Amino acid sequence: MTCVKMIHSLYEDGCEGSPSNPVRFKGQDYMQLKKSLLSQANKFEDETFPANSDSLGKLEDLTPEQLKEVEWLRPHDLNPDPSFIEDGTSRLDFKQGDVGNCWFLSSIGALTLHNGLVAQVVPHDQSFKNDYTGIFHFRFWRYGKWVDVVIDDLLPTRNSEPVSVSSRSQKEFWAPLLEKAYAKICGSYKDMIAGNPPEALKDFGGGVHMNYKLCKDKSDLWDVMYRAIESKTMMGCGTFTGDKGKEIYKTFGLVDGHAFAVTAVKQLEIDSDSIKLVRVWNPWGEKEWNGEWSDKSGVWNTVCDQDRDECLKQRNDGEFWMSMKDFCTYFEELDICCESPNFISGDEGEWNCSLKEGRWEKDTSAGGSDSQSGEFWTNPQYRLTVREGEEECEGAKNVLLSLLQKPDEEYRSKLKYHSIGFTIYRVPEEAPRGRLPQSLLQDEEPLKVSEFSESRELIEFHSLEPGDYLIIPCTYEPNQTGSFIITIYSKVEAEIE
C-alpha cells in the first residue's frame, strides 16, 4: 500500500468527523436509538425521513397512478429470511430499479472492489436476526468529515417488488438500504436522479478525484488505469449523449448517457502482440457491449484457455470486456478516485494532505475573478509554503489543489454550483505574514490562473518550486455567496494557513 496521510487522518482519533467518531446526521445516534428500541421491543420508524411520498418524490419512470401504488415494506415482508450481507459485498449482488441514479449505483459497484472502504461505508455488524429492531446506519465522507446516517428499513415497493435498487438474489438487502441512506442525504429518492460518478466516489472515501476525457489523445492513460487498479482506486465511466450516443446504443448494445463502473484492466499476449483490455460493468445488470471482446465474441478463441476461463467466469450480468481502443472510442470520460495521487505520478512516495474550510460572502469576501478589480483581494487568501525535499525533481508535479463547493441547500436537485477557480501568486520574500494587500502584488503577474468550472470540485496538478505562494479561491462573478473546502496534496513538505 502506498504511503499517504489521508484526509480523515487530519482528525485526531476520536475527534468528531473522524472514521471512529463520525458526525451524526440530523443528530441521530444509532447506538442510543437501537438501545431504546430494544428496551421497548419496537421497530424503528424514522421521523426525519418518513416512509411517505415526500421521501420518495416524483420519480420520472413512474406515472402518477403508479406512484400512488407505492407501499413501504420491510425486508421481512419481501423475504421470510432476509440477509443484510451474504458472502461479502459484490457489484453482482444488485441491479438498478426505477430511480434514475446509475451514477450512484455504478459507484457502489466500484466501491465493492475495495473491502476496506466497504467496511467503512457499510458497517458489517448489522443483521436481520440478532437484536433486530428495523434500524440501520451507513457512513459517507461529506465535505471533509465522515457522517453517520441512520435509517429505518422500510423500502418503497410496488406489487411487493422494490421500486429502487433490488437484490439479484431477492434475499440480500445491504444495497437497497445503502441507497436509502444516500437518498436521505440527498433529500429524497427523486433528488438522486441524474448525476456523475465522481460525486458518489468522493462521498465513499474522500481522496483524490481525477477526470479524463477519453476522446483526447492520452498516451499514458493505460498506465494510469493500471496503476489505479494496483492502488485500489474506484473508477467510473460514462457514455456519450445525443446522436453519437444513440448510434452507440443501436450498434453495440451500450446505453447512451449512462454511467458504468470500470472493474478491471488486463493485458493479454496473442501471437507476440499485446492486447489491452478494460472490464466495464452496467448497474442495470444487463445491456452489455456486443462488439469485439464481448462475452460472445469469437476473438476469445484466440487466447489461451486459462485467460479465457479467468475473464469469462459469468455472463449476462451487465459486465463485459472491451479493448482499450474501443473503450476510448465509445466512452466519453473516465473518473478515478483514490486516497493518494500516486496512480497519476507512478511513484511510491508519501503525500502530505492539508484541508481548510472557507466561505465567500456577498459584499465582504466574494471579490470575483478579475485580479485587476479592487474587490479581488477581498477573496479568501491561503499562504502555501513549499519546503525543499529530498524527492524534488525539477519540473515534476508535486502539488495537487482541490477546490470543493459545499452547498447550503439541503435538497440535492436544487443545488446550483458557482463557476469556481483559483489564482496562484509567488509571494515576494519581503512580504509580511497575514493577509496581503492588493498593492503588494498588483504589478505581479499571476503564476497560474486555473480554468473556471460550474462543477462540484475543481482539481489541478502543479509543479511548484520551494517558496511561498498565495492561493486565492474565487467565484467567476463577484458577490456570490457559498462555502468551500480547499485541499492541498503535496509531494514535498508544505504548510497552508
Residues carrying an active site annotation: 102, 258, 282
Alpha helices in 260-323, H assignment, sequence order: 305-311
* Residue the block writes with cell 493577509: 435
Residues 6+ apart with CB under 8 A from 35: none
Report in angstroms the alpha-carbon separations of 437 from 132, 370, 373, 390, 432: 61, 15, 13, 34, 10
Alpha-carbon span 436 to 441, nearest angstrom: 8
Query: To 10 degrees, the CA torsion angle through 462, 213, 418, 339?
Result: -60
For residues 450 and 460, the answer to whether their CB atoms sit within 8 Å is yes
∠ Cα 288 293 298 (to 5°): 110
Phi and psi dihedrals of 431, rounded to 5?
-70, 135
Alpha-carbon span 316 to 284, nearest angstrom: 11
Residues 6+ apart with CB under 8 A from 269: 275
Residues 6+ apart with CB under 8 A from 97: 162, 163, 164, 165, 166
Alpha-carbon span 334 to 351, nearest angstrom: 23
SS3 238: strand
The alpha carbon of residue 124 and the mean position of all alpha carbons in its chain are separated, in whole angstroms, by 21
For residues 331 and 218, the answer to whether their CB atoms sit within 8 Å is no
∠ Cα 89 95 98 (to 5°): 140
